[in-house]
Structure 1
Amino acid sequence: MARYTGPVCRLCRREKMKLFLKGPKCDSMKCPIERRPYPPGEHGRDRMRQGSEYLTQLREKQKARRIYGVFEKQFRNLYEEANRQTGITGENLLRMLELRLDNVAFRAGWGASRAQARQLVRHGHVMVNGKRVTIPSYRLRKGEVVSLRPKARQMIVVRHNLDTLDRQVPAWLEGGADGHEVTVRELPLRDHIDVPVRESLIVELYSK
């Protein structure tokens, strides 16, 4: 399984904004983008000037990929599936990304970051409808119940995240069991998705 193992703060600096990939560190003054708000590399400061239309579209696509932790092939496949569905392609794409199991575990407050939530899924700590699922890209459907396994509920990291993270469960999810369970009440609408991504630019990029 391919995965990115480099410094994730470098990704935030490249997009010139916080992508909240490191959990609580992103809200503190230790966040590198607070001290160096320019792209990484020897010529990082030179990249501050205005880019072309293609560069703007590319950066928006890269930003979405990095927020959700998806690689290019996965992202392209999701776009093609979203394009085949009825409705607005960009909104369909974001909806499918939001319904990933690792993202729902993050939204529920079990992980400080999507990467940590993905690790909880990969290690078998998350169940869907009472059955253990270890595939982070598993796409949830309306009415499905996502919960933590009994042993996972006692994990120090999970308890710490539930107690300290100031994160509200989105409107399309319904919480329960003292925060250890969420139900997909409805499919998320664009108004429910708070990621700072202009999906229309992604559609323009892939439509060329």
Structure 2
Amino acid sequence: MGRYTGPTEKLSRREGVELFLKGERLLNGKSGLERRPTPPGQHGAARRRQPSTYGVQLREKQRAKRYYGVRERQFRRYVREASRQREGLMGDHLLRLLERRLDNVVYRLGLATTRAQARQYVNHGHVMVDGGRVDIPSFQVKAGQTVALRTDSPVEPAVRDAVELVASVPGWLQADVDALQGKVLRLPDRSEIATPVNEQLIVEFYSRV
């Protein structure tokens, strides 16, 4: 199945939380979730029965996938990798893997207004890691590495517009907005990951399938 190309605000309405998929429009206070808080579809506003435990876990998994823009097969790989960690909580490891994706780091640094835009920048070779071009959005950035926009990139004006909209950068990252680059200081703590999901429900979902 290919990537989703439909209305992005519909995904936020389906999950019932803001997934931050609209970038500048959302930063300007224009949220589709506020205008139409009900799920999409003809019967979205109708009263629905209480979801089952499985249904709640499924929605949480779908919410995380859509938030990070990851497909099912890729998401399963992250779950398997997180399950191999011997220390700490599996859910915390899962979120750290998702946060360390290069496209997410570009977004968190404020070099793009959405993860989709950040993924496009990476795919088209506009992003450098430690001075070398990396065009794989799922690339796992390590502590100590530097992420920067390519110096001759034609998207520089759009990136400079994006950094002006950034309110703050997570504590595990350090941004240099003038140089359009940033550094990964360390792995993120769970308290620093502003993701609207309950990762324990995702772990429970995959433990039963």
Q: What TM-score does the superposition give when structure 1 sets the normalisation length?
A: 0.93
Higher helix share: 1
Q: Secondary structure at the match of 2:51?
A: coil
| Maintained 8 Å contact 2:63/2:197 | yes
Work out the percentage of aligned pairs sharing the same amino acid.
52
Q: Does 1:184 align with 2:184?
A: yes
| Maintained 8 Å contact 1:14/1:40 | yes
Q: Secondary structure at the match of 1:13?
A: helix
Match of 1:56 in 2: 56
Aligned amino acid, residue 43 of structure 2: H
Q: CA deviation at 1:115?
A: 0.5
Aligned amino acid, residue 79 of structure 2: Y
Question: Which moved further from structure 2: 151-160 or 116-125?
Answer: 151-160
Q: Does 1:148 align with 2:176?
A: no
Paired residues, what number?
A: 207
Match of 1:121 in 2: 122
Deviations 1:34-79 (A, max 9, x none): 2211111112123654311111111111111000000111001110
Deviations 1:123-176 (A, max 9, x none): 11100010000000000111111111112387221111112x133121111223
| Maintained 8 Å contact 1:153/1:159 | no
Is the alpha carbon distance of 1:177 and 1:19 closer, same or farther for their aligned partners in structure 2, counting shifts above 3 Å? closer
Aligned amino acid, residue 124 of structure 1: G
Structure-2 separation of matches of 1:18 and 1:180: 27
Question: Which moved further from structure 2: 167-176 or 105-114?
Answer: 167-176
Q: Does 1:100 align with 2:101?
A: yes
Q: Secondary structure at the match of 1:147?
A: strand
Match of 1:16 in 2: 16
Is the alpha carbon distance of 1:151 and 1:84 closer, same or farther for their aligned partners in structure 2, counting shifts above 3 Å? same
Q: CA deviation at 1:193?
A: 0.4
Q: Secondary structure at the match of 2:46?
A: helix
RMSD across aligned C-alpha pairs, in angstroms?
1.8
Q: CA deviation at 1:20?
A: 0.8
Structure-2 separation of matches of 1:49 and 1:93: 31
Match of 1:138 in 2: 139
Structure 1: 5+ residue runs without aligned partners?
none
Q: CA deviation at 1:177?
A: 6.3
Match of 2:73 in 1: 73
Q: Secondary structure at the match of 1:115?
A: helix
Q: What TM-score does the superposition give when structure 2 sets the normalisation length?
A: 0.93
Structure 2: 5+ residue runs without aligned partners?
none
Match of 1:110 in 2: 111
